[in-house]
Amino acid sequence: MSLAIPGSPGRRSAAGDDRPAPLPRSLGRTGRLVARVWRKSSVAGLAVYALALGGVLGLASADWATRGGYPFGGVKVGAWTAWPRAGAANADPYTRAVNARRGEIPLAVGEGLLLTAAVDDQGQALDATCSYRIGGGTPPARAWTLTVAGRGAREPGRPAVREGFTSTEVLRSADGRFSVVLAPEVQPGNWLPSPRDSGPVRVALRLYDTPVAASVGSLDRESVPAITRLGCAS
Amino acid sequence: MRLVNLRFVYATLIGLVLAGIVHIAAVLAIPRLSETDAVSRARTSENLDHPQPIYTVATGDEPSPPEAWLPIPDPAVAVGVCAYDLADGPMRVSARTGPLSLSLAAHARRGAFYAVTDQAAVRGALDLVILTRAQYDEALADDDENDPSRDVRIVAPDNRGVVVVRVIAGLPSQRPGANAAVQAVSCTTDMPADESAGKPAAR
């Protein structure tokens, strides 16, 4: 199929060689010129093909790599991914391009740390039809917020019940740990409604004014909230 | 036919190499050319004395206004930006600490180069001055030894950038206060006392 592209100028040039002979004399000179252009066009065609391939493939891959989330720079901690360098001056070029395209203002290292999760502790993707318990402790921070969002734009007309909890308002047990239930149905305690009826969801934990932003390597599974699947509606 | 095939393979290889070069060039050029990044979008606020609110937290039944351009903002944090252009003079950002935690971060096109929270405030005031290297040297030379300045002086890597103000509302009742606290920060361009701003540049 793709061989037809460079093959076609070659075949046409062979046809062009035969064509000028029966033409009248007045057209002979232009015919020969056309024939020469056709013969050379197998090289020119390949050059155009290479340039087009390079341009289209290069731009498309650059667009794909800088669309949506950050391609690199994440540090995996259990189900969570920490993004310590997203707002730093020495962020990688892809992160800078993603920020520039989205108009994002990432948290600087001295300000806080963003952790995101798109899967639960078992590695299964978070789904809006399922319910999850997000609980445990958080790394030391002056304040934190735990928010949930669906992918893409918000559904219009859906009442905004609650998008997240802050460290001040979350209900805690006596030992200071907390447990938030992310579910489509109303739950007792800290209920975080699913942001949409179906489809993948993402959870974000933002730590503000935290010492761990400078040393993400010190984070381990125990220090971040666990995400446990409780069950699915369907 | 085989000749055509070989040529075709060469052309494809050249195309792939070109694709790699175009890919790298495009990724590096996006932050430079982008018109949707925070620094470009915040330009409009350059001659305001207070931060331009870019994300005001929802209060009561009022949803967040549409000026929010942040893709996934934190619903409990009010965000404002002050754009600066150091060619006009150093940028002074003054904040008074309140009951809510506040943070200031200085961003240039390459990313954040400085961030400070209200815990660093001296006697309830946080004064951040962003300047170029030449303006910094001048400020040092002009300092009175008996009355040292309490400003936090930061040398910016670029002439243009933004200062981002974030105020966290821990409880829904604190949300109007958080929006007001962002507006209460002042961003002003320091005018040199004697009009000698051009001197260091000429040196």
- Residue A168 makes CB contacts below 8 A (sequence gap 6+) with A143, B170, B171
Give residue-wise pLDDT tens across range A119-133: 999 989 998 899 999
- Alpha carbon A149 to chain centroid, angstroms: 14
pLDDT computed for residue B142 by the predictor? 82
A89 chain-B contacts, CB cut-off 8 A: 108, 110-113, 157
Please tell me which of the candidates B8, B14, B27 has its beta carbon nearest to residue A66. Answer: B27
pLDDT computed for residue B202 by the predictor? 39
Please tell me which of the candidates A53, A56, A143 has its beta carbon nearest to residue B168. Answer: A143
A170 chain-B contacts, CB cut-off 8 A: none
pLDDT computed for residue A10 by the predictor? 41
Q: Which CATH number fits domain A75-232: 2.60.120.1440, 3.40.50.10490, 2.60.120.600, 2.60.120.10?
A: 2.60.120.600
- Give whole-number Cα distances, B181 to A173, B72, B79, B159, B175, in Å: 32, 22, 10, 27, 10
B5 chain-A contacts, CB cut-off 8 A: 3
CA atoms of A71 and A80, how far apart (whole Å): 15
Give residue-wise pLDDT tens across range B113-168: 888 888 888 888 888 899 898 888 888 888 777 777 778 889 988 888 889 999 99
pLDDT-flagged residues of chain A (< 50): 1-23
CB contact under 8 A, B15 and A51: yes
pLDDT computed for residue A132 by the predictor? 92
Give residue-wise pLDDT tens across range B160-193: 888 999 999 988 888 888 888 988 899 888 776 5
Q: Does B139 touch chain A (CB under 8 A)?
A: no
pLDDT computed for residue B198 by the predictor? 44
Q: pLDDT exceeding 70 applies to what percent of chain B?
A: 85
pLDDT computed for residue A158 by the predictor? 65
CB contact under 8 A, A66 and B30: yes
CA atoms of A48 and A37, how far apart (whole Å): 14
B108 chain-A contacts, CB cut-off 8 A: 89
A50 chain-B contacts, CB cut-off 8 A: 11-12, 14-15, 18
User: What's the ipTM?
Assistant: 0.80
CB contact under 8 A, A61 and B34: no
Domain boundaries, chain A: 20-65, 75-232
